Structure 1
Amino acid sequence: MEPCAECGAPMNPRSCDELFHALLALDHSRQAPWGPLHGVSVACFLLQHPSRLPSDDGAMAWALLRAYLDGGLDEVDQLVGQARRGNSHRVQSPPSRVARDAALPHRSAPRSGYSVTIEDVAVDGTFPAAEFTERVEAWATATVDAWSRGT
């Protein structure tokens, strides 16, 4: 079976999409360790599958990963809170830009070359709780590294 055209992960026995939907189900349980890392997991998946990036071309996903790697979940929570406040209908001024330097490196999206993909985080397809946080951190690091070097 061919590897994923975007991240390079083997697509056997499950595709990246199937794994992502399984991860989202765990994330939405809001239970640790999956729930608290929902935003980080989604950001990793989107940046490794750039055909799915939202209209901001990955700026928020990039900022979220940088916040996570620089300051952990506390910094991610601050960034998300700032974005929510900026998008509130109660705010009279236009939404502010993300406070961090959210600009992706001036490169095209990497075509594979990721040392860690969703398949690695899934382990056996079940995203086991044991060492999940460490696997997500490795996923975030691999994603930022690949985008930074333009692989």
Structure 2
Amino acid sequence: MEPCAECGAPMDPRSCDELFQTLLALGHARQAPWGPLHGVSVSCFLLQHPSQLPADDGAMAWALLHAYLEGGLDEANQLVGRARRGNSHRVQGTPAQAVRDAAPPHRDAPHARFSVTIHDVAVDGSFPSAEFTERVKAWAAATVEAWS
């Protein structure tokens, strides 16, 4: 079977999209360790599968990964909070400066394959809780490195 055209991961036994749906379900349950890392995980997946990037071309995902790698989960959560407040119907204007200036350096996906993908984070497809945080951090670092 051919590897994923976007991230280079093996598509056997489950595709990246199938694994992502599993990861989303775990994240939406809001239980540790998956819930707190939901935004980071989604950001990694989107930046490794740029055909699915939202209209901001990955600016929020890029900013979130940088915040997480530089300041941990607290810093990432602060960024999300500022972005939510900035998107409030009570606030008029442009997105927060940190997000506006954070777009990835180029729109096209990296030509090199990612050293850590959703398949690595999934382990056996179940995203086991043991060492999940460490796997997500490696995924975030590999994503930023490939785009930089």
* Bin of the TM-score, shorter chain as denominator length: over 0.9
CA distance in 1, matches of 2:93, 2:2: 45
1:1-150 equivalences under 5 Å are: 1-91=1-91, 93-99=92-98, 101-106=101-106, 108-148=108-148
Q: 2:111, 2:54 → 1: CA distance?
A: 18
Going from structure 1 to structure 2, the CA distance change for 1:127 and 1:98 (only over 3 Å counts) comes to: farther
**Distance in structure 1 (CA, Å) of the matches to 2:12 and 2:33:** 25
* Structure 1 residue 97 displacement after superposition: 2.9
String of CA shifts for 1:20-65, please: whole Å, max 9, x gaps: 0000110011000000000000000000000000000001000000
Moved over 4 A (4+): none
Whether the aligned pair in 1 keeps the contact of 2:82 and 2:96 (CA below 8 Å) is no
Tell me how far apart the structure 2 counterparts of residues 61 and 44 of structure 1 sit (CA, whole Å): 7
Tell me how far apart the structure 2 counterparts of residues 108 and 8 of structure 1 sit (CA, whole Å).
15
Q: Separation in 1 of the partners of 2:84 and 2:108?
A: 28
Q: Deviations over 1:47-88 (max 9, x none)?
A: 000000000000100000000000011101110010000010
Structure 2 residue matching 1:38: 3-state secondary structure: helix
Output one character per residue of 1:83-132: Cα deviation in whole Å (capped at 9) or x when no partner.
000010111x3133342641311362114510000000000000000000
Which amino acid is 1:71 matched to?
G
TM-score of the two chains, using structure 2 as the length reference: 0.95
Q: 2-side partners of 1:86 and 1:97: how far apart?
A: 6
| RMSD of Structure 2 on Structure 1 (CA) | 1.2
The number of equivalent residue pairs is 147
SS of 1:83's equivalent in the other structure is helix
CA distance in 1, matches of 2:88, 2:113: 38
Q: Which amino acid aligns with 2:106?
A: H
* Alpha-carbon distance change, 74 to 142 in structure 1, aligned in 2, over 3 angstroms: same
Q: Which moved more, 1:107-116 or 1:73-82?
A: 107-116
CA distance in 2 between partners of 1:112 and 1:129 (Å): 29
The one-letter code of the counterpart of 2:6 is E
Q: Which runs of 5+ in 1 are unaligned?
A: none
